[in-house]
């Protein structure tokens, strides 16, 4: 059963949002690199990879339904940050906006009675809960350690241990 045009358009908008997220996180990785925080940069690079995979998951879903993907332009990410806490506060706001757009997309899929879309979007809803919780944990740690060199250095080392999770849904 073909998807309704309004739903296809909304998926295409979400694909652009996911790629924009990836681009934003890559910009943040650069800021951390330029500020001698390679662990935070590594964390953001992993986030960049995850967001790219999210975009591709939606991209592939549309194609699996016989629909066309329309790629949209991205805007240059900001690199005007003053602290690690400020960067992660921006991440928190960004993830909240992505959560809202995923929820809106799910509501549209529900309204259109498109069960396959609802199923794939349920994965994204769960993912967003995890994303927001993780970012809040990092913000709380950053606030706890403050901006002192030794504490930030140790947290930076901890952040470098993040690796790309295996996407079992792709197998």
Alpha helices in the chain, H assignment, sequence order: 5-34, 38-64, 84-111, 115-145, 149-159
Nearest alpha-carbon partner for 136 in 101, 165, 93:
93
Could you report the per-residue pLDDT of 112-139, keeping only the tens digit for each?
999 999 999 999 999 999 999 999 999 9
Which of 42, 38, 44, 45 lies closest to 152 in space, CA to CA? Answer: 38
How many C-beta atoms surround the C-beta of residue 75 within 10 A?
Answer: 8
The first and second tokens of residue 36, run together, are: 């001698």
* The pLDDT value given to residue 148: 65
Please state the rounded mean pLDDT for residues 48-57: 97
Given a cut of 80, is residue 168 above it in pLDDT? no
Whether residue 77 is predicted with pLDDT greater than 60 in this model: the reply is yes
Q: Which of 106, 132, 143, 104 is nearest to 121 (CA)?
A: 106
Q: What is the DSSP letter of 35?
A: T
pLDDT score for 165? 67
Third-level CATH fold of 5-68+82-160:
Ferritin (1.20.1260)
Tokens coding 102? 């995923």
pTM of the full structure: 0.91
Q: What are the extents of the domains in the chain?
A: 5-68+82-160
Count CB atoms within 10 A of the CB of residue 134: 15
CB 68 within 8 A of CB 8: yes
Sorted by sequence, the CB contacts under 8 Å of residue 4 that are 6+ apart come out as 112, 114
């Amino acid at each position: 059963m073909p998807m309704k045009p309004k739903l296809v358009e909304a998926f295409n908008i979400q694909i652009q949002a996911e790629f924009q997220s990836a681009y934003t996180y890559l910009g943040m990785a650069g800021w951390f690199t330029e500020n001698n925080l390679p662990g935070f940069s590594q964390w953001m690079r992993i986030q960049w990879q995850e967001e790219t995979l999210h975009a591709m998951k939606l991209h592939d879903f549309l194609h699996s339904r016989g629909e066309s993907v329309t790629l949209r332009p991205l805007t240059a990410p900001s690199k005007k940050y003053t602290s690690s806490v400020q960067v992660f506060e921006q991440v928190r706001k960004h993830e909240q906006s992505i959560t809202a757009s995923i929820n809106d997309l799910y509501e549209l899929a529900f309204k259109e009675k498109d069960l396959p879309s609802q199923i794939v979007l349920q994965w994204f809803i769960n993912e967003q809960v995890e994303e927001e919780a993780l970012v809040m944990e990092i913000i709380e740690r950053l606030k706890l350690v403050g901006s002192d060199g030794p504490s930030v250095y140790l947290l930076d080392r901890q952040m470098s241990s993040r690796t790309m999770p295996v996407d079992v849904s792709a197998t």
